[in-house]
Structure 1
Amino acid sequence: MNQAGCGPSQRLRALGALAGAALLSALWLLWLLGSTPVGVPAPPPTLVILVWHWPFTDRPPELPSNTCISYGVARCHLSTDHSLLASADAVVFHHRELQTQQARLPLASRPRGQPWVWASMESPSHTHGLSRLGGIFNWVLSYRQDSDIFVPYGRLEPHEGPAPPLPAKKRVAAWVVSNFRERQRRVQLYRQLAPHLQVDVFGRANRKPLCANCLLPTVARYLFYLSFENSQHRDYITEKFWRNALAAGTVPVVLGPPRATYEAFAPADAFVHVDDFGTAQELASFLVGMNESRYRRYLAWRARLRVRLFEDWRERFCAICTRYPYLPRGQVYEDLKGWFQD
């Protein structure tokens, strides 16, 4: 006997089969869309940099997830949360807090193979206690050009458009100094210059402190600024050169590493180096006798370059992520003192 149509149970089974096939097709499509195409690498994971103790303060800044992105560094997260020690990609220790024992190394809890970074922007003359830190750190962050993470105090970058205008130069030379000790070479040189060169001294050492926003406008009114470092060491060129002089728009008279080191960072005619003169009197005579056209040549770099300062520790620590893929694994500074005080 022929049936004119299917019964209800047969129709339900047919609909179920169709629904199952549709579900399998949808799952297959989702799997294809979610798969990484052949030959396209997956994005690198976000690196976690644990800062064990924030430099010079017990109150670290807020560190939102976009902290390093604001400095042009992607997939890099800074944290001061000690609970991340076991999972952090690297841990950075600032030396001043180790030196004063405000912070202690968590050696007993150190995960195997975790890179530790020693960080300092101070000169060897003001860095103590390195002898007990041998065989601990894998990488170094400092102003030294041969550091694993090289972070200078500043640099010159290409600049388009007119240079910022300069105020009228009304005085000869300025110097801002807080730590004034007779045994320092900079103080001895100042004593030799003072009889031959008019130098206005500001800072705590002379009981004439300048507020944070007053320093650059004040220095900008001078022809020269004494960019005298507190000690002379390899590559040690600080804000006394970058901010107090170049950013202010005056000509730095530098006392620090050799001229060749400065020339690695700035044009040879952007500064006056004290080593180019036999005596302090010769240096003073050169500065006082400089005519306007020669003086302007010392400022010619401002037409094509601008000063970028690296003063924020957040930016310095984000630089660890930039260098991370290229840093040697398994490296250990067995004699950190010997390396840094070289």
Structure 2
Amino acid sequence: MPRASPLPWSPWGRPGVKTLVTAGVFVTMLWNLRCFLSPSNGSREDSKHTEPLLVLVWEWPSKQVPNVSGDVCHELYGVTGCWLTTERQLLHQADVVVFPHARLQPGQDRLPKERPPGQNWVWVSLESPSNSRALAGWNQTFNWVMTYRQDSDIFIPYGKLVPNRSATMNIPAKTNLVSWVISNYHRTQKRAEVYKNLSRYLHVNVYGKANNKPLCKDCLLPTTSKSRFYLAFENSIHRDYITEKLWRNSLLAGTVPVVLGPPRANYEQFIPADSFIHVDDFNSLEELAIFLKTMNSSRYQQFFAWQRRFSVKLYTDWRERICTICTAYPHLPRGHLYPDLQSWFNS
């Protein structure tokens, strides 16, 4: 038996339910349904199941919930056969339910009271293990994980380099040596220790709430682009945990990232080896400071060679991230539950 239509306003709905629609809405609905049922690379590989994949976001990951009604995956990102919703009354019709970890606190009472057979649940987090609380309570709960980790069932990085044949090298004019934008400064973090010791040997222009110099949203890139180098220091060090500090604040801004995070080899899985400087490349922070202060112009320009082949793509819209579930769906494992989510995430 095919499952009920995921469209809550379907004029042929469940028996005994009267639905009133205007002629215009009815025509629009039929047109959207036609688009959903058309073959596409973004659709599921199950020819017997012709309905769109219904993905229910139990709670939206960010405070601002955008409009997710309609065929947003197709309209915005070219992913067809994918229907997103935040309407919890569609739980029993949903193929996939998405649970952002930040919204799951304090515990199991935030989950649905029952789980329809065959439905897959996705655990979502962009935070590192150091900043993810209460993972031990979610054993045998989720079928798939969706994180910045490359070994996730659904991989959602903060950004990536995409091939660009028409790309050219563009280095913004520089007025200072090093900058750093920091909002949550804690002395116990390694990045705080590294900054404190590095600043003994060179001046760092520090911005953000932690330094009482907040930058407006449109001011960040113009500010960091004026620096020759940017401290892309992660708040914690974990495999694949490479955030907007690298992608947006540095590479997109047109400055050279000085990174503190996972080992260099891990960064090189994402960006060219000659596009960044790793703190671990040096025997001391004094040696790093000398390297930055004495670099000549020709050596500096070599760090931007990647711009001739690539451009930076940022992932900032949660709608785009969640739409990737539909793209990945045909290849995801079935009948699997993570027995120990905390052990997996900390591995």
TM range (shorter): 0.7 to 0.9
CA RMSD of aligned residues (A): 1.5
Correspondent of 2:85 among 64, 79, 86: 79
- Residue equivalent to 1:5: none
Q: What's the offset of the Cα at 1:198?
A: 1.6
Matches within 5 A, 1:87-166: 87-100=93-106, 104-106=110-112, 108-163=113-168, 165-166=170-171
Q: CA deviation at 1:162?
A: 4.2
- Aligned residue number for residue 341 of structure 1: 346
Q: How far 1:160 sits from its partner (Å)?
A: 2.4
Question: 2:203 matched to which residue of 1?
Answer: 198
> In structure 2, what is the equivalent of residue 208 of structure 1?
213
Pair 1:133–1:102, CA change in 2 (3 A):
closer
Amino acid of the residue matched to residue 54 of structure 2? V
Aligned partner of 2:178 among 160, 163, 173: 173
2 CA distance for matches of 1:124 and 1:84? 32
Between 1:64-73 and 1:298-307, the stretch displaced more is 64-73
2:275 alignment partner, SS class: coil
SS state of the match for residue 319, structure 2? helix
Whether the aligned pair in 2 keeps the contact of 1:121 and 1:142 (CA below 8 Å) is yes
* 2:269 counterpart (248, 264, 268): 264
Gaps of 5+ in 1: 1-40
- Residue 331 in structure 1 maps to residue 323 in structure 2: no
Q: TM (normalized to structure 2)?
A: 0.84
What is the distance in 2 between the residues matched to 1:255 and 1:156?
19
Query: The residue matched to 2:200 in structure 1 has which SS?
Result: coil
Residues 55-77 of structure 1: CA deviation (Å, up to 9, x unaligned): 132x5211132211111211111
Structure of higher CA gyration radius: 1
The match for 2:66 among 61, 64, 68 is 61
Deviation at 1:177, TM superposition (A): 0.1
User: Is contact 1:97-1:103 (8 Å) kept?
Assistant: no
Where 1:86 maps in the other structure, the secondary structure is helix
- Relative distance call for 1:162 and 1:119 in structure 2 (3 A) is closer
Distance 1:93 1:309 in 2: 22
Give 1:303 deviation, angstroms. Answer: 1.2
Q: Map Cα deviations across residues 99-145 of structure 1 (whole Å, 9 max, x no partner).
A: 25697011x32102210000000000110111010000000000000
Under a length normalisation based on structure 1, what TM-score does the superposition of the two structures give? 0.85
Q: Hey, what's the Cα distance between the residues in 2 that align with 1:103 and 1:227?
A: 38
Correspondence 1:46 to 2:55: no
Q: Find the aligned partners of 2:182 and 2:195 in 1 and give their Cα distance.
A: 11
| Native 8 Å contact 2:167 2:310 kept in 1 | no
Deviation above 6 Å: which 4+ runs of structure 1? none
* Distance in 1, Cα, partners of 2:333 & 2:248: 33
Q: Distance in 1 between matches of 2:295 and 2:339?
A: 50
Q: Secondary structure at the match of 2:274?
A: coil
Work out the percentage of aligned pairs sharing the same amino acid.
54
Query: Counterpart of 1:295?
Result: 300
Q: 1:187 to 1:103 in 2, by over 3 A?
A: farther
Q: What displacement does 1:45 show?
A: 2.6
Using the TM superposition, name which of 154-163 and 330-339 deviates more: 154-163
The change in CA–CA distance for 1:100 and 1:212 in structure 2 (over 3 A counts) is farther
Aligned pairs, number: 300
Kindly indicate whether the alpha-carbon contact (under 8 Å) linking 1:163 and 1:303 is maintained by their aligned counterparts in 2.
Answer: yes
Q: Is the 8 A contact 1:53 1:103 kept in 2?
A: no
- Alpha carbons of 1:332 and 1:208: their partners in 2 closer, same or farther (altered >3 Å)? same
CA deviations 1:280-311 (Å, max 9, x no partner) are 11111111111111110001111110000011
Task: Give distance in 2, aligned partners of 1:132 and 1:258.
Answer: 30
* 1:83 counterpart SS class: helix
Aligned mates of 2:186, 2:121 — CA distance in 1:
35
Letter aligned with residue 302 of structure 2: R
Distance 1:299 1:165, change over 3 A: closer
